C-alpha cells in the first residue's frame, strides 16, 4: 500500500535551515508530481510547493518563494524540502502528499491529493 513517511523536523532558531524528507513506497514514485502542504497551529491546510514527476517543474506558494526549495531523488523514492531563512510563521506540521494532476511549463494543476504522510513538525523559536 502507499506510504509516505516524513522526517527531518525539529526546533530551529529564526533564520536557520532544515531539510525535510519524505520517503515514498507502494507506488511508482517517479510517475507522480509530489507536494508539500503545511498546517500551522490553529490554522488550516496551506499548500507550500510542488515538483513534477521528473523534477523539471517546481512551483511555490508566495509565502515561501525564495526561501524554500523542493527537490526529489527518484532513485531513492524520496521527496525533499529545504526550508531556509525560517520565520516564526513557518512553524507548522509539514505533510508530503501525492497528487493526481499535471504540470506545464507555467504551473501545476491538481485534480486531488490521494495520499498523505503523517507529517513532521517544524518549530521556529529562539
- Binding-site ranges for other proteins (CB under 8 A): 4, 35, 37, 44-47, 50, 59, 61, 95, 97, 101, 106-119
Q: Which is nearer to other proteins, 16 or 43 (CB)?
A: 43
Q: How far is the CB of 53 from other proteins (least distance, A)?
A: 16
Least distance between other proteins and beta carbon 9 (Å): 14
CB of 111 to other proteins, least distance (A): 5
Give SS3 for 109.
strand
CB of 89 to other proteins, least distance (A): 16
With cell 527518484, the residue in question is 74
Q: With H, G, I as helix, E, B as strand and everything else as coil, classify residue 65.
A: coil
Cβ proximity to other proteins: between 13 and 61 the closer is 61
Closer to other proteins at the Cβ: 23 or 45? 45
Assigned C-alpha cell, 23: 520517503
Measured from the CB atom, is 31 or 106 closer to other proteins? 106
Q: Closest Cα to residue 72, out of 108, 29, 104? A: 29
70: its cell numbers: 523542493
Where b means 16+ CB within 10 Å and e means fewer, 7-38 reads ebbeebeeeeebebbbbbeebebeebbbbbbb
Amino acid at each position: 500500500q502507499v506510504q509516505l513517511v516524513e522526517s527531518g523536523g525539529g526546533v530551529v532558531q529564526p533564520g536557520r535551515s532544515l531539510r525535510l524528507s519524505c520517503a515514498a513506497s507502494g507506488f511508482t514514485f517517479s510517475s507522480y508530481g509530489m507536494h508539500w502542504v503545511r498546517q500551522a497551529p490553529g490554522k488550516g491546510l496551506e499548500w507550500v510547493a510542488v515538483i513534477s514527476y521528473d523534477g523539471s517543474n517546481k512551483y511555490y506558494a508566495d509565502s515561501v518563494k525564495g526561501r524554500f526549495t523542493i527537490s526529489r531523488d527518484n532513485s531513492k523514492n524520496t521527496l525533499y524540502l529545504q526550508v531556509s531563512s525560517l520565520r516564526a510563521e513557518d512553524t507548522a506540521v509539514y505533510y508530503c502528499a501525492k497528487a493526481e494532476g499535471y504540470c506545464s511549463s507555467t504551473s501545476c494543476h491538481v485534480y486531488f491529493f490521494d495520499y498523505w504522510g503523517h507529517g513532521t513538525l517544524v518549530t521556529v523559536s529562539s
